[in-house]
Amino acid sequence: VLAYAGHVGIYLGNGRMLSALNSRSGVTIESATYKPIKSIRRFV
Output the pLDDT for position 18.
96
Task: Convert the pLDDT of each residue in 1-44 to its tens digit.
Answer: 999 998 999 999 999 999 998 899 899 999 999 899 999 999 99
Output the pLDDT for position 40.
94
- Pairing assessment for the beta strands 39-40 and 2-4 based on DSSP bridges: antiparallel
Buried b / exposed e across 13-43, counting CB within 10 Å, b at 16+? Answer: eeeebebeeeeeeeeeebebeeeeeeeeeee
